[in-house]
Structure 1
Amino acid sequence: MSKLAFAVLGSLVAMSAFAQDGAVKMTRDELLTFLPTTKVTHFSSGGSERHWTNEPDGSLYATTNNKTYGGATGSRTTGQAGRWKVSDEGKYCVEIDWKRASEDWCASVLKGEGDTYYLNKVDDKHKIVFSK
């Protein structure tokens, strides 16, 4: 392979840490330092607002207004224990066994300007709020 091909490949690998709109993918080490004790606000694809705290031992207790199963007004607030972790690949993973459906996902965390964060992609549908 030519030197130019290696240079281009190296540039692409280096740029893979950067996302759209200047957001940067957080590394595994950054997530392991940042995530414990953070309070999380996240909206599901069904519109349910959920809150939890990433406990240092990997546990969490999530509450939701349950718009997906509790009606359009989200009037049936419920809660459930779960787990969080950072995978070997540097992704934020959450497992919650809700009463009607289990939730099990992993996503890259992208840090935008200020204190804005996204899961996998920079847009409002993928926004997640972390606070200390």
Structure 2
Amino acid sequence: MSKLAFAVLGSLVAMSAFAQDSAVKMTRDELLSFLPGTKVTHISSGGSERHWTNEPDGSLYATTNNKNYGSATGSQTTGKAGRWKVSDEGKYCVEIDWKRASEDWCASVLKGEGDAYYLNKVDDKHKIVFVK
């Protein structure tokens, strides 16, 4: 491998480490203050875009474009009620009982620069959007 390739690879690794280091894990108290009332946009690992609002009572109603399953009528959009909470460990937890698959996860929320937020890890696949 050439010196240039090593230099480029080294730069990419350093930038990734810097991005990870510049993000700060939000504490339980920060999440309890921040999350109620936020509008959420998230892309699932299967590529479905989902939207919901973290209601102050812990409820949510999520909609998705359902890239994974679609429907017999040709309409992919669907919605379902669910719950959200902040765990004792300070993780953001979401439960949605979709028609074909249940979703139940908890993740640390990392706050990056500006209004960038991530679940567990700083990269585009783990990005989540919160809007007050």
Using the size of structure 1 for normalisation, the TM-score is 0.83
Q: Secondary structure of the equivalent of 1:13?
A: helix
- 1:28-82 CA-partner distances (Å, limit 9, x unpaired): 0000000000000000000000000000000000000000111799941000000
Q: Secondary structure of the equivalent of 1:33?
A: helix
Q: Secondary structure of the equivalent of 1:17?
A: helix
The CA distance in 2 between the partners of 1:64 and 1:91, in whole Å, is 23
Report the equivalent of 1:35: 35
Report the equivalent of 1:113: 113
The CA distance in 1 between the partners of 2:70 and 2:3, in whole Å, is 59
Residues 2 and 130 of structure 1, relative CA distance in 2, 3 Å threshold: same
Deviation at 1:2?
44
Q: Secondary structure of the equivalent of 1:16?
A: helix
Deviation at 1:5?
38
Deviation at 1:84?
0.0
Residues 18 and 58 of structure 1, relative CA distance in 2, 3 Å threshold: farther
Using the size of structure 2 for normalisation, the TM-score is 0.83
The CA distance in 2 between the partners of 1:6 and 1:97, in whole Å, is 47
Q: Is the 8 A contact 1:17 1:24 kept in 2?
A: no
- In the alignment, structure 2 segments of 5+ residues that lack a partner are none
Q: Identify which range, 5-14 or 25-34, moves more after superposition.
A: 5-14
The CA distance in 2 between the partners of 1:28 and 1:8, in whole Å, is 38
- In the alignment, structure 1 segments of 5+ residues that lack a partner are none
Q: Secondary structure of the equivalent of 1:21?
A: helix
Q: Is the 8 A contact 1:60 1:82 kept in 2?
A: yes
* Cα root mean square deviation, aligned: 7.6
Work out the percentage of aligned pairs sharing the same amino acid. 92
Match status 1:6 vs 2:6:
yes
Q: Which runs of 4+ in 1 moved over 6 A?
A: 1-19, 71-74
How many residues end up aligned between the 2 structures?
132
